[in-house]
Amino acid sequence: MNAGIIGIGRYLPEKILTNHDLEKMMDTSDEWIRTRTGIEERRIADEKINTSDMAYEAAVKALEDANITAEDLDLILVATVTPDRPFPSVACIIQERLGARKAAAMDISAACSGFMYGIITAGQFVQSGSYKNVLVVGAEKLSKIMDWKDRNTAVLFGDGAGAVVIGPVSEGKGIISFELGADGSGGKYLYQDEYISMNGREVFKFAVRQMGESCINVLEKAGLSKSDVDFLIPHQANVRIMEAARERLELPIEKMSKTIHKYGNTSAASIPISIVEELKAGKIKDGDLIVMVGFGGGLTWGAIALRWGR
Ligand code: ACO
């Protein structure tokens, strides 16, 4: 059985926080943030909106797009490092709200790589024939774990959610190859106690190396070459990291998704949020070879080569 993305949706909070707004809150500048990260603005969820609310909204759209109901779901996986509370999981909260009575539910903790961990796990259940429809959501309210006095991290992140339904697709479509990895020895470079704490330079070095390598590895596993890639969807953490992956694949600029200027780093939500953006812009077409690649705290990483379409 081939497993692919059969439906997709996203939720973005309405409130926009620009770099100029941040200039009034801390010692930073629009120029510094834009040139170092590529970020111009990000969305911040209201006090009243929690991660599960955003996950729910994105999930409803993904189910509609897949043309299935919540009762058709066998499993719900929510990738998040900002659950409403340690338990019950966000997955269980939205299972109830959606009315997905048949579905098992759990959260995945792999920071910004969480969405890659989620869709690869979902793909295994579908490929084996154990499950038919698996909802995978990446949802984050990072604003609640950001230290608004720390300019090193507060300028980087945003809130949002993206969801996909992973289900059976026709021959030749869907997930072709994947890679997942972790290196716990790098946990000290990016973690949360009360707030996010980061050694930006170490994370940057790791990310540049890992993003490029993972892209090459999934292509090799799939028996494909760089020139076969139609579109690259990198985790949106820093435009310079994304550019390094694009250059490694020798792709022209128009073949890489860039949404970081509008949404900042939304962690596990950044890849599905970006896919929706590119679909709306008509940049992803049926039959395209898509490479998705992410990295994050843990340290963790993941990549997929996927043929778009049902
Ligand atoms: N505004 C102005 N100045 C700042 C700001 C800011 N917001 N933040 C830091 N600076 C200063 C620093 O204090 C430093 O000053 P100093 O030299 O006087 O000490 C100076 O800018 C330069 O700092 P660098 O660390 O050299 O800047 P760099 O070019 O490395 O960029 C950045 C920093 C953007 C954080 C980069 O290292 C990066 O993107 N790293 C990866 C981060 C990342 O991807 N994190 C997400 C991981 S995903 C997850 O799982 C959550």
Residue of 17, 152, 265 to mutate, ligand 1, most atoms within 8 A of C-beta: 152
Cα of 63 from ligand 1 centre, angstroms: 38
> For residue 113, what are its two tokens?
């790589």
Q: Whose CA is nearest to atom 10 of ligand 1?
A: 152
Minimum CA distance residue for ligand 1 atom 24: 201
Q: Whole-angstrom Cα distance, residue 113 to residue 78?
A: 12
What CATH code would you report for 174-307? 3.40.47.10
Report percent pLDDT > 90 for the chain: 100
Q: Among 55, 57, 272, 45, which Cα is nearest to 142's?
A: 45
pLDDT at 8: 98
Kind plus residue range of the DSSP H or E element containing 301: strand 300-307
Specify the ligand 1 atom closest to the Cα of 152.
8
Give the residue numbers marked as catalytic: 112, 235, 265
pTM of the model: 0.96
What span, in angstroms and rounded, lies between the C-alpha atoms of 31 and 122?
41
Centroid of ligand 1 to alpha carbon of 237 (angstroms) = 12
155 lines ligand 1 (CB under 6 A): yes
Domain with CATH 3.40.47.10 in the chain: 2-169, 174-307
- Each residue's pLDDT tens digit, 179-216: 999 999 999 999 999 999 999 999 999 999 999 999 99
19 Cβ inside 6 Å of ligand 1: no
**Domain 2-169 bears CATH identifier 3.40.30.10:** no
**Centre of ligand 1 from the C-alpha of residue 76, in Å:** 35
CA dist list (Å): 215 to 21, 40, 114, 124, 257: 36, 27, 17, 20, 15
Residues 140-164 pLDDT 10s: 999 999 999 999 999 999 999 999 9
Residue whose CB lies within 8 A of the most ligand 1 atoms, among 27, 204, 206, for a mutation test: 204
Ligand 1 touching residue 13 (CB < 6 A): no
Q: Are 60 and 10 in contact (CB under 8 A)?
A: no
- pLDDT-derived band at 266 (thresholds 50, 70, 90) equals very high
For ligand 1, what atom is nearest to the CA of residue 201?
37
Q: Is 191 in the pocket of ligand 1 (CB under 6 A)?
A: no
Kindly report, residue by residue over 226-254, the tens digit of the pLDDT.
999 999 999 999 999 999 999 999 999 99
Ligand 1: does its nearest atom lie under 6 Å from the Cβ of 296? Answer: yes
Report the mean per-residue pLDDT for the chain: 97
Query: pLDDT tens for residues 78-117?
Result: 999 999 999 999 999 999 999 999 999 999 999 999 999 9
pLDDT for position 289: 98
- Using alpha carbons, select from 28, 299, 12 the residue that is nearest to residue 148: 28
Q: 133: Cβ–Cβ under 8 A, 6 or more apart, which residues?
A: 6, 66, 68, 72, 73, 74, 165, 166, 167
**CA 55 – ligand 1 centroid, Å:** 29
